[in-house]
Chain A
Amino acid sequence: MERIVKDQVQSELDKYANQDLYIHLETTNGAYATHNSESKMNVGAYIRNGKIRYERGVITGNGPHRVGLKMENGWVYAEGLTDWELDSEGRLLLAGHDELGRLAVALEVSPQPFRM
């Protein structure tokens, strides 16, 4: 992955508009958050291989970045994105890593289902 270049990601988001896609969206602060610091709580959520179709996708912010995908009946949103990759299978991978390189948020779209 490389640091996000906003224009490049925007042009990939544009290419994926108005087509059926599979999405992977997650956020986490790790299963040990409370264990390592009692003042924290474990939070996390993910959806993998949800089917979506968006009419407008926008990346914004000065880094870390935000992405919003506007669908016919709703929105998908992710915040804290720092790195991106268009992988060999044509999937757009966006991720937010903290200062220790740990993944804190991921937003990925693919024309094919993600591997389970």
Chain B
Amino acid sequence: MERHVLVVLPHPDDESFGAGGTIALHRQAGTPVTYLCGTLGQMGRNMGKPFFATRERLPDIRKSELEAACAVLDIQDLRFMGLRDKTVEFEDPEILANRILAVINEVNPTLIITQYPGFAVHPDHNAMGHATVLAVAKLPKESRPPVHCMAMARNRFDALGRPDVVVDITQTSKTKLNAIRAHRSQSEGLLQQFESGQDMAAKRRVEQFLQQEMFWLYPFED
């Protein structure tokens, strides 16, 4: 059992889609989870189906959706970095790393979950993962917690090999699905395709989301 898990991701919903089942398992085991969320997903393209959000209302909507998802996952410590969606890669990585490091020093996690820099498809994911590993690299080698990275890039298996950690989340799959559902503006379209059962690709994608979650251990060099 971990003493404290720190999750560092850029968008409301990244936690539920990528690690919702794992987070729920940690909470069931009684481990405190801190979620440091970079942005409010202000520039999301999904607006609900049928759409109900506007570009200007989206940040408030996504913030309250994230709070609802955190309630589902039982995350009690949710923090925002106040960055703007789609701009994270243009920020100074050292400044971001130092802000993340301050949270690491405060909560003293035994495990950090983030995105694998360079293999996370969305530029915000890559930038947030990069800032997180920069932060951890500033710690003395012996006091670095393991960093478990999610990777989505098509070439992830070729480039990174098999995942180091595969979490069977069938026990918490319902919780994960409800957390994804809480991100209504982002997930409604996908879940409609899943539930209609007609779009086989969408159905397979969601089913895979609900069975296991994969993480690669970040290999620090020194």
Contact surface of A with B, Cβ cutoff 8 Å? 1, 24, 26, 28, 30-32, 35, 44, 46, 85, 87, 91, 93, 95, 97, 100-104, 106, 108, 114-116
The answer to the question of B198 belonging to the interface, with a C-beta cut-off of 8 Å to chain A, is no
CB distance from B217 to the nearest CB of A (A): 23
The complex places the Cα of A93 from the Cα of B55 at a distance, in Å, of 8
- Which B residues touch A26, using CB under 8 A? 43, 55
Decide if B84 touches A85 in the complex (CB within 8 Å).
no
The complex places the Cα of A26 from the Cα of B47 at a distance, in Å, of 15
Question: Which residue of A has the minimal Cβ distance to B11?
Answer: A31
The complex places the Cα of A100 from the Cα of B169 at a distance, in Å, of 29
- Which A residues touch B44, using CB under 8 A? 103
Per a CB cutoff under 8 Å, which of A44, A93, A101, A102 touches B56?
A93
The answer to the question of B203 belonging to the interface, with a C-beta cut-off of 8 Å to chain A, is no
The answer to the question of B93 belonging to the interface, with a C-beta cut-off of 8 Å to chain A, is no
Per a CB cutoff under 8 Å, which of B46, B152, B153, B154 touches A102?
B46
CB distance from A38 to the nearest CB of B (A): 8
Decide if B45 touches A28 in the complex (CB within 8 Å).
yes
Contact surface of B with A, Cβ cutoff 8 Å? 43-51, 54-56, 59, 84, 86, 121-124, 152-154, 189
Decide if B189 touches A101 in the complex (CB within 8 Å).
yes
Decide: A93 near B54, CB < 8 A? Known: A100-B189, A101-B46, A103-B47.
yes
Most buried by B among A31, A44, A85, A116: A31
Decide if B43 touches A102 in the complex (CB within 8 Å).
no
- Which A residues touch B122, using CB under 8 A? 31-32
CB distance from A1 to the nearest CB of B (A): 6
Decide if A114 touches B56 in the complex (CB within 8 Å).
yes
Cross-chain pairs A/B with CB under 8 angstroms, 9 sampled: A32-B122, A46-B86, A87-B56, A91-B56, A93-B54, A101-B189, A102-B47, A108-B55, A115-B59
Decide if A104 touches B45 in the complex (CB within 8 Å).
yes
Decide if B47 touches A97 in the complex (CB within 8 Å).
yes
CB distance from B145 to the nearest CB of A (A): 29
CB distance from B12 to the nearest CB of A (A): 15
CB distance from B101 to the nearest CB of A (A): 25
Decide if A32 touches B121 in the complex (CB within 8 Å).
yes
Rank and list the top 3 A-B pairs by shortest CB-CB distance, nearest first. A101-B51, A101-B49, A31-B122
